[in-house]
Amino acid sequence: MPQAESLAAGGFPSWGRLPDRPPVADPLAGIRGIPRRWADLRLKEWVGFTLVHPELFGSMIVQDAKYLTSAELYVHDRASGELHEHAASGGRGALELPRALLSGGECGFRASGFELRYGFDADAGRHTIRVDVAATADAAAVSGELVLDAAQASAPLVVNARLNEHAATMFTHKRVFAVSGMLRVGECEYRFDPARDLAILDEHRSRLPYRASWTWGTFAFRAPGGGIAGANFATRPQPAGEEEESGIWVPGAVEPLSDVTFSPEGAMPLSPWTMRSADGRLDVAFTPEGRKGVRKQFGVVAIEYFQLYGTYRGSVAGIPFDGVHGVCERMRMRS
């Protein structure tokens, strides 16, 4: 498909897998006036990163659910087993995620004792993550700056798809970056080596149905020869024939993936999982080391969510690997 300037070039949505992120990713392009304001209330947007580093598991996200904005991050030290988890929330309008994200976009969340900010600069070939979060009674302070090298990035995985026969849609953009810099957690410092360490971007802009659910996993690693390999894979209710957000990264390219099965091997919170695609190009086992969860209900709005972090082993596109860091999550929500 030719490069689209936006998700609605010429007034018509560009559906399916796209060769790159459009310069402007506006799922509501072409909608005007009162219908656009109503559609915007249904739009859920977030930008997050999963960190791949041998000494820690870590993830962060800023998100705009329209009725609520929030940010979260956690760092789990593998040696000590300690989990440091922070979160902050605000009202409508406290966060803006730019539609032209990579072209000089900046976004973040600031509250008392909590600041998480992303800076994107495609022209300079680098992006930044800045963290400055104060200690709480349950978690150490987290601070530092990470630099993402756009020249050492995977191919982009970009999908724009319908979620039902009504107005529900999904736009997602995933990419893996080499990362350098430092994070300080309490008295511990973690140095990031761009020849080894990675950050997996997850940008999502969706008009979700009132009841939504998905199961999702991702991991990435340095393949033999130094390129980036890994996978992003998910299952969710979608109309037949619509593109899924799943894909496989191989050095220099991204390949479509579909029909992924998630199989927990037990009912315990940290039971292992297996994930396989119908064509066998994804065949992995996941061993969790920790879990974070959210269960909330506000009248007609409800969230039941957990994310597991741990290690993957198996093969992706015929590339064998073991001990690769990644995550797996499950969401059920009414909103």
Strand 198-207 and strand 16-18: the pairing is unpaired
* 247: CATH: 2.40.370.10
283 within 8 A of 276, measured Cβ to Cβ: yes
Q: Which two tokens stand for residue 269?
A: 């919170």
Distance between CA atoms of 81 and 290, rounded to whole angstroms? 9
Average pLDDT in the 68-94 region? Answer: 91
111-150 burial, b at 16+ Cβ within 10 Å, e below that, comes to beebbbbbbbebeeebbbbebebeeeeebbbbebebbbeb
Residue range 324-335, pLDDT digits in tens: 999 999 999 887
Distance between CA atoms of 56 and 196, rounded to whole angstroms? 13
Distance between CA atoms of 113 and 68, rounded to whole angstroms? 19
Residue 187 lies in a domain: yes
Q: How confident is the model at residue 1 (pLDDT cuts 50, 70, 90)?
A: very low
Average pLDDT in the 175-180 region? Answer: 98
Beta bridge partners of 162: 169
Residue 223 lies in a domain: yes
pLDDT at 3: 44
Residue 206 lies in a domain: yes
Residue 43 lies in a domain: yes
CB atoms within 10 A of CB 86: 23
Residue 230 lies in a domain: yes
Residue range 234-252, pLDDT digits in tens: 999 999 889 999 999 999 9
Distance between CA atoms of 313 and 286, rounded to whole angstroms? 7
The whole domain housing 109 covers: 32-334
Torsion of CA 233, 152, 115, 295, to 10 degrees: 10
Residue 18 lies in a domain: no
Residue 220 lies in a domain: yes
Residue 285 lies in a domain: yes
Give the count of domains, the chain: 1
Has residue 128 got a pLDDT over 80? Answer: yes
Residue 297 or residue 251, greater confidence: 251
Residue range 189-248, pLDDT digits in tens: 999 999 999 999 999 999 888 888 999 999 999 999 999 999 999 999 999 889 999 999
Has residue 2 got a pLDDT over 50? Answer: no
Residue type, 137: A
CA-wise closest residue to 329 among 259, 264, 267, 277: 264
